[in-house]
Amino acid sequence: MIDQQEKKSSNDIEKPPLLSSWPKLYLVVFLNLVLLVVLFYIFTKYFS
Amino acid sequence: MSLPDWIVLIGFLAFVVIYGVWKTRGKNNIQDYLLASRATPWYMVTLSIMATQASAITFLSTPGQAYSDGMRFVQFYLGLPIAMIILSVTAVPIFHRLRVFTAYEYLEQRFDLKNRILGSVLFLIQRGLAAGFTILAPALILSVILGWDIRFTVCIIGGLVIVYTTTGGSDAVNKTHLLQMIIITAGMFAAFWVILRLLPPDVSFLDATHIAGKMGKLNAITFDFDWKDRYNFWSGLLGGTFLALSYFGTDQSQVQRYLSGKSIAQSRMGLLANGVVKIPMQFSILFAGAMIFVVYQFVTPPLFFNPVETQNVKNSAFAADYNNLEYKFTLLHEQKQGTIRDMLAALHNQDQGGLQTSVEQLQALSGEEKTIIKSAGELIIKANPKADGNDTNYIFLSFVIRFLPTGLVGLVLAAILSASMSSTAAELNALASTTVVDIYKRMIKKSGSDHHYLLVSRLATIFWGLYAVAFAWFANRLGTLIEAVNILGSLFYGAILGIFLIAFYFKRIGGVETFWAAIIAEILVIACFLFTDIPYLWYNVIGCLALLFIAHLVKMCRSLLLAR
């Protein structure tokens, strides 16, 4: 029973409050991390 | 502390408690009490997650960390957004669909009772001690800087939290988290504004940033890999992901926050928003610490920021040595000021040669300064062998008391106490849930009424609150405690995470393999702690990977035996 419940795809979950799909939102969170790392690197190099 | 500061402080704290109790009156069933009726919107979930994670020690210690070690601590959080994505995809839908109250309840549904009990007992041991520490750490620092009685401070923080957490449960925790985050943000912004105003008139914000950078305080990212270096890009990304997965995926104090979400979407969104906001927030707090460092380049700082220990050494047989160090420190500081101004002039005139010379001189002077500070720490310990030779935790608060205007001191103290209360409230709520749902209801009384379990939950909240206060009351050393609690968490988190990863991703592995793999992995981690010098942050990775490997090995051996 649990497995059946777990096997439900993420498609049956309501849409995210922002953006149109969950994969897009995950991508935004990941790209935000990449952007922060790049900005921190520039910040570190520029002021060092 | 002046009267207006007391009014601001007491006013804020009283408002939080009254608001928490009033907004949650009439909550009469266990679902309301433990999971806020599963009706929390995503932004409240985010605020609650952030308020739970950000304890007082975050605000007291983090600026001091940047002051003494630079901003590289921010890398510790690099794995957090990745963990938020993984948990949103896996844990959130499973926990929501199974309608569990605690994360460990899922372990029985997936494996068996012994795995559930193992998970919940490991959590109760670790989080029970951590709750005491969450109260103790700010109380100890406030008592040293402000001269407050430590036991009085512990009772105030613990007592207020017990009142509204016992009365309103999870909903009170969520609602007060909103207020507490507002106070915390306002306090930090006020402190940052004052820091910038304290810069000399001829030193702009950009100049200050250059000074911090040239003196090695803006080292936010380093890609050099060093196994023994606690904070670099790689340890942050790898170790940080494992740590965040463990903390947000298996620690009931966090799981309970997003289980209170209205739906899977609201819980997910709450976690993902935390993944976006957390790193910039930590960056800002660290940057404030770097700016405090710059202010102290133009105003002579204390040689040692803990005033009680400074007084101790000055009253001891080492007073003459310490005074001599203070004299050298002041002279060196004046010399540094001159070199900093030379460096700024070279920077404004785009004189690369002059800039290089000034930076080299500053590095040499900073090296001498570090030697003096280290010697001062050694004298402090000689004068009082029980003293903590590290004064990082006292830097921010001593700055606040010395430089912030009347009223703002009260606001910043309210922010610090709010942070302590917000974390403690979530911890007590989670400890009570696990005690009642995973132990009491499962093992002791299976068929009680809703009213009965609500009463037991309230009693469990009071019990854990008193336990945390008692722990904070009798423990009295900060340095050892920080280390002890962090090591304690890392000793258990890896194994707990491994259990959950098997539950989520390896459907062929059963309860027997998982349980014994967890026991062996735990022994391995404890052996690492006792017999190696591996930094404790790596215990999370080692425990988790060892459990995954051993569980697969045991499964393979059992299959081979059965085949014969």
Chain B contact set for A41 (CB, 8 A): 220-221, 223
Count chain A–chain B contacts defined by CB atoms under 8 A. Answer: 88
Q: Tell me whether residue B393 is in a domain.
A: no
Residue B58 and residue B11 in one domain: yes
Asked if B265 and A37 come within 8 Å (Cβ–Cβ), the reply is no
Residue B470 and residue B481 in one domain: no
> Any CB–CB contact under 8 A between B228 and chain A?
no
Residue B219 and residue B259 in one domain: yes
Asked if B216 and A41 come within 8 Å (Cβ–Cβ), the reply is no
Burial profile B481-498: b = 16 or more Cβ within 10 angstroms, e = fewer: bbeebeebbbbbbbbbbb
Let me know: does B379 contact B328? Beta carbons within 8 Å: no
Cα B35 off chain centre by = 23
User: What is the crossing angle of helices B264-298 and B392-403, to 10°?
Assistant: 70
**R_g of chain A computed on alpha carbons:** 18
Task: Indicate which of A39, A41, A44, A46 best probes the interface with B, i.e. most B CBs within 10 Å of its own CB.
Answer: A44
Residue in B210, B221, B275 closest to A44 by CB: B221
Residue B191 and residue B111 in one domain: yes
| Tens-digit pLDDT profile for residues B49-92 | 988 888 777 778 888 888 888 899 899 899 999 999 999 998 89
Q: Domain boundary residue among B425, B458, B474?
A: B474
Q: Tell me whether residue A44 is in a domain.
A: yes
Residue in B210, B272, B279 closest to A36 by CB: B279
pLDDT in tens, chain B (564 residues): 788 888 988 888 888 888 877 777 766 677 777 766 677 889 989 988 988 888 777 778 888 888 888 899 899 899 999 999 999 998 899 888 888 888 899 999 888 899 999 889 888 988 888 888 888 878 877 787 777 788 888 888 888 888 888 887 777 777 787 877 888 888 888 888 888 888 888 888 999 999 999 888 998 898 887 767 778 888 888 888 988 888 898 888 889 888 888 889 999 999 999 999 999 999 999 999 999 999 999 888 898 988 888 888 888 888 899 999 999 999 998 888 889 888 888 888 888 888 888 888 888 888 898 899 889 888 998 888 877 777 888 888 888 888 888 888 888 888 888 888 888 888 888 898 899 988 998 888 888 888 888 889 889 999 999 998 888 887 655 554 555 666 777 788 888 889 999 998 898 899 889 999 999 999 999 999 888 888 777 888 899 999 999 999 998 888 888 877
Q: How high is the pLDDT of residue B295?
A: 92
Residue B445 and residue B405 in one domain: yes
CA distance, residue A20 to nearest chain B CA (Å):
12
Q: How high is the pLDDT of residue B518?
A: 92
Q: Tell me whether residue B392 is in a domain.
A: no
Q: How far is CA B352 from CA B83, B160, B179, B304, B446, in A?
A: 44, 57, 50, 35, 76
Range of the structural domain that residue B495 is part of = 475-564
Query: Which element (helix H / strand E) includes B395?
Result: helix B392-403
- Total domains in the fold of chain B: 3
Residue B446 and residue B537 in one domain: no
> Any CB–CB contact under 8 A between A29 and chain B?
yes
CATH of the domain at B128: 1.20.1730.10
Assigned token pair, B468: 């945390």
A19 to chain B: closest CA residue: B269
Chain B contact set for A32 (CB, 8 A): 81, 275-276
Q: How high is the pLDDT of residue B272?
A: 95
Asked if B88 and A5 come within 8 Å (Cβ–Cβ), the reply is no
> Any CB–CB contact under 8 A between A19 and chain B?
no
Q: Domain boundary residue among B387, B410, B430?
A: B387
Asked if B221 and A6 come within 8 Å (Cβ–Cβ), the reply is no
- Total domains in the fold of chain A: 1
Cα B462 off chain centre by = 23
> Any CB–CB contact under 8 A between B265 and chain A?
yes
B356 to chain A: closest CA residue: A48
Q: Tell me whether residue A46 is in a domain.
A: yes
Chain B contact set for A14 (CB, 8 A): 263-265
Asked if A5 and B269 come within 8 Å (Cβ–Cβ), the reply is no
Q: Tell me whether residue A4 is in a domain.
A: no
> Any CB–CB contact under 8 A between A47 and chain B?
yes
Asked if A29 and B265 come within 8 Å (Cβ–Cβ), the reply is no
Q: Tell me whether residue B302 is in a domain.
A: no
β-sheet bridge partners, residue B40: B261
As to burial, measured by CB atoms within 10 angstroms (0-12 exposed, 13-18 middle, 19+ buried), residue B547 is buried
> Any CB–CB contact under 8 A between A34 and chain B?
no
Task: Indicate which of B82, B217, B224, B272 best probes the interface with A, i.e. most A CBs within 10 Å of its own CB.
Answer: B272
> Any CB–CB contact under 8 A between A18 and chain B?
yes
Residues whose CB falls within 8 Å of the CB of residue B152, separated by 6 or more in sequence, listed in order: none
Q: Does the interface ipTM go beyond 0.85?
A: no
Q: Tell me whether residue A33 is in a domain.
A: yes
Residue B268 and residue B157 in one domain: yes
Task: Indicate which of A11, A37, A38 best probes the interface with B, i.e. most B CBs within 10 Å of its own CB.
Answer: A37
Q: Domain boundary residue among B457, B474, B491?
A: B474
Let me know: does B506 contact B172? Beta carbons within 8 Å: no
Asked if A18 and B78 come within 8 Å (Cβ–Cβ), the reply is no
User: What is the crossing angle of helices B539-563 and B511-531, to 10°?
Assistant: 140
